[in-house]
Structure 1
Amino acid sequence: MVTEANLQKAIEQHQQQEDATFQWTKQWYPVAVVDFLDPTRPHAMQLLGKDVVLWRDGAGKWRCFADACPHRLAPLSEGRVESDGTLLCAYHAWRFDSEGKCVSIPQSKDKETEAKHCTNPQSCAIAYPTQELQGLLWVWAESGVQAEVESQQRNPRIIPELEENSDRAKKLFWNIRDLPYGWDFFIENISDPAHVPVSHHGIIGNRYQDAKYYDMISIRDMSTQEGFAYQITPTAPNIAQAIHDFQPPSHMRIVTNNTDGGQMILALYATPTRPGWCRHIGCQVLVKNQAGKQSQGLGFFALPMPIWLGHVLASLFLHQDMVFLHYQEKILAKQQKDRWLDAVFTPNPQDKMVIAFRQWWEKRAGGGIPWAEGCNAELPPPERDKQKLFDVWTTHTQNCRVCQDALKNINRLTVLAYILAAISLFLAVMIDARSLAISGEIFLPPLGFWLALGSGIILAIGGYLLKKLSRLFYVYEFEHAHND
């Protein structure tokens, strides 16, 4: 029974939460797309400056440990997932079960000694709570018994439409990428719809025609735990309302409500990995209106396509603002201003949500991310070699089994195309030589020659184009100066 005293206590507890600084480690963070992970091996990553390892146990559940064997601190991510569902350290073959308990120390004197050492708490790996929801692997950023209890009292920031309107909502493919700029600059960027037609000219809008005035109106007051939301005045005839909803620590919901009742939702996540870097995971959700008509998605990314192609094409979008966001972060750090507002000039209403975010960051979240002990919290220097900034292999492909499989198939097709091209050209030469030997005089080659020659040329061009496509799995370069 809810009494007035209980209600007042709940109000006071809520107010205490709001008055307190945002607790970065007592949160669920999306760290990976489950379908893109290779379950046969461990995966290294970072979370809030902590080195962690993701791996799937014998029960098919993904786990997260500190990436250090308790024996001699060798990284467990360099180990193996064994057939019995344990994680093996590649240094001395210590094995750990799904809870982090050490179950095997081969160098022990005997079984009794091994059992004794395995029961010692110092032999355990550090385990973080995990769960899988909506295709994402979520990790709680603290470990231990208390963390297990606290993690069960808070829910991850999932996409409610996928739970409530499963028959009307269609989720398109997840995309994931490590980006060379900080978490706060990612959130700032997606709080700023004014940049979209300019930075993403040619994909979404036109920098010369669509960079127009509009207002941003607060529709949810700022909260330490729940963030805030802004509405954009309609900017297109078929759009009734557009809402940007920031839900800390990782989620930005961008909801476009169409005049016909349909919705397009951009579900964007950002997880702070280390200083100057964040991991972005995102997808589109298209919600049908009452008549069953599906909303249009974001540009050509809503077209039917294989997941790997969507990942490759994502570089066209992500790299359009990636470089200047990387440098922007470094420029702001050089300013050494006490307040963000003292370093910038924001006269237009389109900057309202960016300003609100920086106020939340400064007043509600401590003005910075509390990186793990031992992590070098200094911002890395600007990367002047843009080839490294445009790197796709390290930031995506090497960690995505879907793209790795696609790349292998493309490479096989490339080799096959070149082999068949060489065979076709060889046949063309042989046909021409044979016709010349038979007739004894020079004349127009027979039809078989032209068919073989044409096939060889087409196959060679196909091989070349496949080779160009495979390069996009490694690097994609972009310059605004050349984007007319």
Structure 2
Amino acid sequence: MNTEIRLQQNVQNENSSHDATDEQLQTEENIFQWTKQWYPVAVVEYLDPSRPHAMQLLGKDIVLWRDASAQWRCFEDFCPHRLVPLSEGRVEADGTILCAYHAWRFDAQGNCVSMPQSENEQTMAKNCENQKSCAVVYPTQERQGLLWVWAEAGEEAKVESQLQTPRLVTELEDNSDKVVKSFWNFRDVPYGWDYFMENVSDPAHVPVSHHGIIGDRYKDAKYYDMIPVRNISTQDGFAFEIQPTQGNIVKAIHDFQPPCYMKIVSTSQDGGQLILALYATPTRPGWCRHIGCQVFVKNSQGKKPQGLSFFGLPLPTWLGHVLASLFLHQDVVFLHYQEKIIAQRRKGKWLDAVYTPNPQDKMVITLRKWLEKRAGGGIPWAEGYSSDIPQAEADKQKLFDVWTTHTQNCTVCQNALKNINRLTVSAYVAAAMCLFLAVILDARTVAVQAALGASVFTIPPMEFWLALGGGILLAVVGYQLKRFSRLFYVYEFEHARND
């Protein structure tokens, strides 16, 4: 009991010191500006360049599309004519985006270049010169394989965006052969940006929630402290180090860099480093888009460190995406309902609604303080969006949707699914042919016996058994492929059954 009281007092004392620091820095730094930031919205190689892609950013409906110069562009998702979504239109061969309602076309700069219903060319040119005919354009750039969008539109935003660099994985900028990047993964998750960041600020949950993949809930849920290694800053976030570490890890740092980057660096005894680069882009209330990868930094002997469980293996990209559900869905139900419960029970400050006596929650507390005191209390959603959290999903099975949250937006997984479906059909067809051959062989054996007048049953020839066994094996393969393809659509998980 004394130990618990002492821990609570320590945490409360640290919180009080943070409050004093916050008041001092509040006069030194401006409130964090959510809209004057770069956000990663997609992995470029997974996008289909032949069509527009709808997405949301800070509650704004946006559309991503690639122009004639092979550059990805971002417009607000409406045609200025009658405000229908451009994401339901087409990317034309000339590199313009066409509204499928009345065939207005727009170039990369958002200028309307065609109004087919105009009386003549002169009238069309005059109407196209009107600023009301232009699409709303957001600055974009491609860095490290990601498509980044600046969260404000217009000429002023274009200038401001050029003065700021996205939150990149700095190790990837060096082009060193000691740095190895795994594939990017992405997923739209049914909980907000703050709960994503809270979750990845909390390493204590890992061996418990991810039991069987990373750690053991019964053996690895141990005490450790979180030590600040970079003081809280409005613009640059903060960082904490875990002490003591476990296993062969000698140093582990969680580094939050607003608006959307959590960098987790684990240094092993031999000097190698594993970096988890985790992004969370706020899309709409109660949802965010997670984009992440593993980065391996070899030690002085050129040895690559171990990765995150089996995700450190050299998996094909599509397989890594599919298997990500095994990990992500171990958190998804917790975080979706946690967000709703806290929204219902919270009266005043977040810290008053929860009970955090142990030092493992220090970084989570600091995140909440940064959000409250440095970032306006929350994300400023676009006009028309309430900051209220959506109702909890009554059918939790819907939280395990993979198709809508990933596959339908990933060309790599779509192609893999097509190939698996082809293999499935081929396996079933080959199984049917083998079984048909087995029947013919068996019938021939019976016919030969009858012709010879044999009265004793003769075992069918080896060819019959090979055909029969091959047919059964191929049918089983087809069935298993069909089951596996379900992972592209849904993956259900329940902790009560995760022994």
* TM-score (structure 2 length as normaliser): 0.93
Matches within 5 A, 1:396-407: 396-407=406-417
Aligned: 1:206 with 2:221:
no
Q: CA deviation at 1:166?
A: 2.4
Change (3 A) 1:317 1:278: same
Give deviations 1:362-384, integer Å, cap 9, x for gaps: 11111111000112432110002
Distance between the aligned counterparts of 1:88 and 1:262, measured in 2? 50
Aligned: 1:446 with 2:456:
no
Counterpart residue number, 1:390: 400
Matches within 5 A, 1:135-284: 135-164=145-174, 166-284=176-294
Q: 2:109 corresponds to which letter in structure 1?
A: E
Q: CA deviation at 1:18?
A: 5.0
Q: 1:448 corresponds to which letter in structure 2?
A: E
Tell me the secondary structure at the aligned position of residue 263 of structure 2. Answer: strand
Is residue 55–residue 81 contact of structure 1 (8 Å, CA) maintained in 2?
yes
Report the count of equivalent residues: 470
Q: 2:291 corresponds to which letter in structure 1?
A: I
Out of 310, 315, 320, the position equivalent to 1:310 is 320
Q: 2:170 corresponds to which letter in structure 1?
A: P
Out of 443, 465, 468, the position equivalent to 2:480 is 465
Is residue 44–residue 67 contact of structure 1 (8 Å, CA) maintained in 2?
yes
Distance between the aligned counterparts of 2:334 and 2:178, measured in 1? 38
Q: CA deviation at 1:63?
A: 0.3
Q: CA deviation at 1:134?
A: 0.2
Is residue 49–residue 65 contact of structure 2 (8 Å, CA) maintained in 1?
yes
Is residue 234–residue 242 contact of structure 1 (8 Å, CA) maintained in 2?
no
Is residue 17–residue 224 contact of structure 1 (8 Å, CA) maintained in 2?
no
Q: 2:477 corresponds to which letter in structure 1?
A: G
Tell me the secondary structure at the aligned position of residue 167 of structure 2. Answer: coil
Out of 58, 77, 84, the position equivalent to 1:67 is 77
Aligned: 1:474 with 2:484:
no
Tell me the secondary structure at the aligned position of residue 286 of structure 1. Answer: strand
Q: 2:146 corresponds to which letter in structure 1?
A: L
Counterpart residue number, 1:97: 107
Q: CA deviation at 1:236?
A: 2.3
Distance between the aligned counterparts of 2:280 and 2:353, measured in 1? 24
Distance between the aligned counterparts of 2:484 and 2:234, measured in 1? 45
Aligned: 1:122 with 2:132:
yes
Q: CA deviation at 1:165?
A: 5.0
Out of 13, 38, 54, the position equivalent to 1:44 is 54
Is residue 188–residue 287 contact of structure 2 (8 Å, CA) maintained in 1?
yes
Change (3 A) 1:165 1:257: farther
Distance between the aligned counterparts of 1:250 and 1:219, measured in 2? 19
Tell me the secondary structure at the aligned position of residue 278 of structure 2. Answer: strand
Give deviations 1:203-235, integer Å, cap 9, x for gaps: 000000000001100000000000000000142
Q: CA deviation at 1:387?
A: 2.0
Q: 1:303 corresponds to which letter in structure 2?
A: L
Q: CA deviation at 1:144?
A: 0.5
Is residue 180–residue 276 contact of structure 1 (8 Å, CA) maintained in 2?
yes
Is residue 18–residue 223 contact of structure 1 (8 Å, CA) maintained in 2?
no
Is residue 86–residue 96 contact of structure 1 (8 Å, CA) maintained in 2?
yes
Q: 2:481 corresponds to which letter in structure 1?
A: L
Aligned: 1:456 with 2:464:
no
Q: CA deviation at 1:249?
A: 0.2
Is residue 189–residue 288 contact of structure 2 (8 Å, CA) maintained in 1?
yes
Distance between the aligned counterparts of 2:496 and 2:153, measured in 1? 48
Out of 267, 292, 301, the position equivalent to 2:311 is 301
Q: 2:478 corresponds to which letter in structure 1?
A: G
Report percent identity of matched pairs. Answer: 72
Q: 2:436 corresponds to which letter in structure 1?
A: F
Q: 1:354 corresponds to which letter in structure 2?
A: V
Give deviations 1:90-135, integer Å, cap 9, x for gaps: 0000000001010000100000000000110100000000000000
Return 5+ residue gaps in structure 1 as ranges. Answer: 1-14
Q: CA deviation at 1:336?
A: 3.0
Q: CA deviation at 1:20?
A: 1.8
The runs of at least 4 aligned residues of structure 1 exceeding 4 Å deviation read: 15-18
Is residue 434–residue 471 contact of structure 2 (8 Å, CA) maintained in 1?
yes
- Between stretches 366-375 and 58-67, larger displacement belongs to 366-375
Change (3 A) 1:50 1:224: same
Is residue 18–residue 225 contact of structure 1 (8 Å, CA) maintained in 2?
no
Q: 2:335 corresponds to which letter in structure 1?
A: L
Counterpart residue number, 2:427: 417
Distance between the aligned counterparts of 1:434 and 1:165, measured in 2? 67
Distance between the aligned counterparts of 1:359 and 1:61, measured in 2? 39
Counterpart residue number, 1:288: 298
Distance between the aligned counterparts of 1:281 and 1:248, measured in 2? 15
Q: CA deviation at 1:237?
A: 3.8
Is residue 26–residue 374 contact of structure 2 (8 Å, CA) maintained in 1?
no
Q: 1:457 corresponds to which letter in structure 2?
A: I
Give deviations 1:279-338, integer Å, cap 9, x for gaps: 000000001011111111100001111100000000000000101110000000001321
Matches within 5 A, 1:332-411: 332-411=342-421
Give deviations 1:243-277, integer Å, cap 9, x for gaps: 00000000000000112111000000000000000
Distance between the aligned counterparts of 2:109 and 2:406, measured in 1? 28
Is residue 18–residue 224 contact of structure 1 (8 Å, CA) maintained in 2?
no
RMSD: 1.0
Tell me the secondary structure at the aligned position of residue 202 of structure 1. Answer: coil
Q: CA deviation at 1:164?
A: 1.9
Is residue 181–residue 276 contact of structure 1 (8 Å, CA) maintained in 2?
yes
Q: CA deviation at 1:16?
A: 8.3
Distance between the aligned counterparts of 1:165 and 1:253, measured in 2? 19
Is residue 225–residue 244 contact of structure 2 (8 Å, CA) maintained in 1?
no
Counterpart residue number, 1:22: 32
Tell me the secondary structure at the aligned position of residue 488 of structure 2. Answer: coil
Is residue 17–residue 225 contact of structure 1 (8 Å, CA) maintained in 2?
no
Distance between the aligned counterparts of 2:380 and 2:53, measured in 1? 24
Give deviations 1:406-443, integer Å, cap 9, x for gaps: 00110011011001101101111110111011012422
Tell me the secondary structure at the aligned position of residue 256 of structure 1. Answer: strand
Give deviations 1:23-72, integer Å, cap 9, x for gaps: 00000000000000000000000000000000000000000000000000
